[in-house]
């Protein structure tokens, strides 16, 4: 059973008390380092990385699905380390077969990785009586059913992950060959990950990768993902919750409601997520790439710090209710207090993240690098480089066992 993390936010409570009880600035001591500031103009100019995972969710894939739940945040964190800092969006496709409870379910590309992760946590293995699955329909959904970026410089990746070949006897299907052609036209790369060793799967997975200029990877049936727990996980998870508590939504009623719902969903993840993935989530949220996921699209603290908006220019009715009762000085002290808290939490996350990474590298074996999560990062690193993005190479990583075909036959 996953470790449950419960958190408190005493600094936030103190900030509220100071702001509500005195017009005197809340911070009299030298301020801590400034928090990472999300500049809207700079963010719009960032390179874009979009990744859709197409996961076989039939009964034989239980191990892989659980591994994905444990490691999706570590994959996101690796992407966030890219230089220059990217905008990261992820989406999901789950597929089974036509005789099962569902055939294909998809979850939109989004910067809100909390929403994506919440969807992933609902995935469970089941069904899949005969060997072939509805791979054709799932792959076509990934290529045509998402709002992919129209930026020609965006890195747009599909990862097809499964153990069984496609049904080729469904008359109304779009064959994978056609989906690969569409992918190339739209600037998408399709990577394939074969779980297990079903003989009929490998040639199809290789062909899809070749046609869509991606890589082919083979992993063990369970996916081989290895989660190395550390003494720093619980504290990082708690800090991640503290970081999220510094967000302040503002705007019209619908915008404030959307921010409130996001905070509620984030707090639910704070409580339910096991310590190791929660630590990875905290690391992602503390990064420049993860700010939108951590704080939402209209965060008062970040927008004032970046100069996007002046606090005095916001109509009172567009402030959160607690701030409406404050004086102008109290509002300013409140926001400055939250900015200071955010900077302190981010600095602590950065410190513990370095210790955690070193701890994991010391304990990582060569076999651990064969897990699907590490293989994904390896292919992503190579394909990102072609778009001018550099993902740092971890010292303990070995080269992924990825094959990118150079065959010329169709």
**Does one domain contain both 56 and 86?**
yes
Q: What is the tens place of the pLDDT at every residue in 133-162?
A: 999 999 999 999 999 999 999 999 999 999
Task: Confirm whether 239 is domain-assigned.
Answer: yes
Same structural domain for residues 239 and 138?
A: no
CA distances (Å), 77 to each of 146, 240, 332, in order?
23, 13, 33
pLDDT over threshold 80, residue 3: no
Q: Provide mean pLDDT across the span 285-313.
A: 96
Task: Specify whether 82 is located in the same domain as 194.
Answer: yes
Residue range 313-322: average pLDDT?
Answer: 95
Give the residue from 305, 196, 173 showing the smallest Cα distance to 248: 305
With respect to residue 4, please indicate whether it lies within any of the assigned structural domains: no
Q: Identify which has the larger pLDDT, 192 or 20.
A: 192
Q: Quote the pLDDT of residue 385.
A: 96
Please state, rounded to an integer, the average pLDDT across all residues of the chain: 88
At 192, which CATH number? 3.40.50.410
Using 50, 70 and 90 to split pLDDT, how confident is the model at 12? very low
Interval 199-208 mean pLDDT? 98
Question: Is 299 inside a domain boundary?
Answer: yes
**Would you say residue 5 lies in a domain?**
no
The tokens of 82 are what?
């890219």
For residues 278 and 295, membership in a common domain is answered with: yes
Report pLDDT for 14. 39
Burial of residue 58 (CB within 10 Å: 0-12, 13-18, 19+) is: buried
Whether residues 191 and 78 share a domain: the answer is yes
Asked, for residue 151, whether it belongs to a domain, the answer is yes
pLDDT of residue 5 exceeding 60, the answer is: no
Whether residue 122 sits in one domain with residue 85:
yes
What is the span of the domain harbouring residue 117?
47-226+366-403
Q: Would you state the pLDDT for residue 226?
A: 87
CA atoms within 13 A of residue 194's CA, in its CB half-sphere: 24
Rounded percentage of the chain residues whose pLDDT exceeds 90 = 80
- Assess if residue 293 is contained within a domain: yes
Q: Is the pLDDT of residue 6 over 70?
A: no
- 82 and 136: one domain? yes
| Tokens representing residue 345 in the block | 């939490």
Give, for 244, the enclosing helix (H) or strand (E). Answer: helix 233-244
What integer pLDDT is reported at residue 23 of this predicted model?
35
Whether residue 408 is predicted with pLDDT greater than 50 in this model: the reply is no
Specify the pLDDT at position 367: 62
Q: Are 265 and 118 in contact (CB under 8 A)?
A: yes
Q: How confident is the model at residue 397 (pLDDT cuts 50, 70, 90)?
A: very low
Q: 378 and 301 in one domain?
A: no
Averaged over 367-382, what is the pLDDT?
Answer: 86
Under DSSP, is residue 18 helix (H, G, I), strand (E, B) or coil?
A: helix
Count of structural domains, the chain = 2
Choose the weakest-confidence range: 8-17, 39-48, 246-255, 272-281.
8-17
User: Mind listing the pLDDT tens digit for each residue in 78-131?
Assistant: 999 999 999 999 999 999 999 999 999 999 999 999 999 999 999 999 998 789
CA-wise closest residue to 338 among 258, 243, 264, 262: 243
Considering only residues 42 and 263, tell me which one the structure prediction assigns the higher pLDDT. Answer: 263
pLDDT of residue 366: 66
Question: 59: helix, coil or strand?
Answer: helix
Residue 347 and residue 382 in one domain: no
Predicted pLDDT of residue 1: 37
Cα within 13 Å of Cα(372), Cβ side: 32
Per-residue burial over 83-112, b if 16 or more Cβ lie within 10 Å, else e, is eebbbbbbbbbbbbbeebeebbbbbbbbbb
Residue % of the chain over a pLDDT of 70:
84
Domain final residue pick, 346, 361, 376: 361
* Residue 280 covered by a domain: yes
- Global pTM reads 0.86
Whether 82 and 175 share a structural domain:
yes
**Helices H / strands E in the chain, number of each:** 15, 7
d(CA 288, CA 345): 14
Are 155 and 176 part of one and the same domain? yes
CA gap 60, 62 in Å, rounded: 6
Asked whether residue 65 is domain-assigned, the answer is yes
Q: Which residue has the tokens 């509220």?
A: 16
Residue 406 has pLDDT above 80, yes or no: no
96 & 222 share domain: yes
Taking a C-beta distance cutoff of 8 angstroms, is the pair 279, 230 a contact?
Answer: yes
Instruction: DSSP letter for 93, please.
Output: E
Q: What pLDDT sits at residue 44?
A: 67
The pLDDT of residue 240 is above 50: yes
């Amino acid at each position: 059973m996953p470790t449950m993390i419960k958190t408190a936010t005493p600094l936030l409570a103190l900030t509220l008390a100071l702001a509500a009880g005195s017009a005197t600035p809340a911070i009299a001591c030298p301020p801590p380092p400034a928090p990472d500031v999300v500049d809207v103009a700079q963010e719009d100019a960032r390179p874009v990385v979009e990744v859709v995972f197409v996961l076989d969710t039939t009964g034989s894939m239980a191990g892989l699905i659980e591994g994905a739940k444990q490691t999706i945040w570590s994959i996101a964190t690796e992407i966030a380390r890219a230089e220059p800092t990217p905008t990261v969006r992820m989406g999901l496709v789950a597929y089974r077969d036509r005789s099962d409870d569902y055939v294909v379910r998809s979850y939109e590309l989004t910067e809100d990785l909390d929403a994506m992760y919440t969807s992933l946590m609902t995935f469970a293995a089941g069904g899949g009586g005969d060997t072939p699955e509805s791979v054709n329909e799932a792959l076509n959904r990934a290529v045509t059913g998402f709002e992919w970026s129209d930026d020609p410089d965006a890195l747009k990746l599909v990862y097809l992950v499964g153990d069984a070949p496609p049904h080729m006897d469904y008359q109304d299907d779009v064959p994978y060959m056609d989906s690969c052609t569409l992918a190339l036209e739209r600037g998408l790369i399709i990577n394939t990950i074969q779980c297990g060793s079903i003989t009929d799967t490998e040639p199809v997975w290789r062909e899809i990768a070749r046609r869509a200029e991606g890589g082919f990877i083979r992993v063990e049936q369970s996916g081989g993902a290895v989660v190395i727990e550390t003494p720093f996980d619980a504290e990082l998870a708690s800090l991640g919750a503290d970081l999220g508590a510094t967000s302040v939504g503002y705007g019209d009623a619908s915008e404030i409601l959307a921010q409130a719902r996001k905070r509620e969903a984030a707090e639910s993840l704070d409580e339910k997520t096991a310590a190791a993935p929660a630590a990875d989530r905290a690391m992602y949220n503390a990064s420049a790439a993860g700010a939108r996921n951590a704080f939402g699209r209209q965060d008062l603290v970040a927008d004032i710090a970046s100069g996007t908006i002046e606090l005095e220019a916001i109509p009172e009715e567009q402030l959160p209710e607690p701030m409406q009762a404050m004086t102008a000085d109290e509002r300013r002290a409140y926001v400055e207090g939250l900015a200071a808290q955010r900077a302190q939490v981010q600095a602590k996350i950065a410190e513990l993240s370095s210790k955690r990474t070193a701890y994991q590298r010391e304990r990582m074996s060569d076999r651990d690098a064969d897990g699907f999560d590490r293989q994904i990062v390896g292919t992503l690193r190579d394909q990102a480089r072609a778009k001018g993005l550099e993902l740092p190479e971890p010292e303990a990583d070995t080269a992924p066992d990825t094959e990118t075909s150079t065959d010329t036959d169709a």
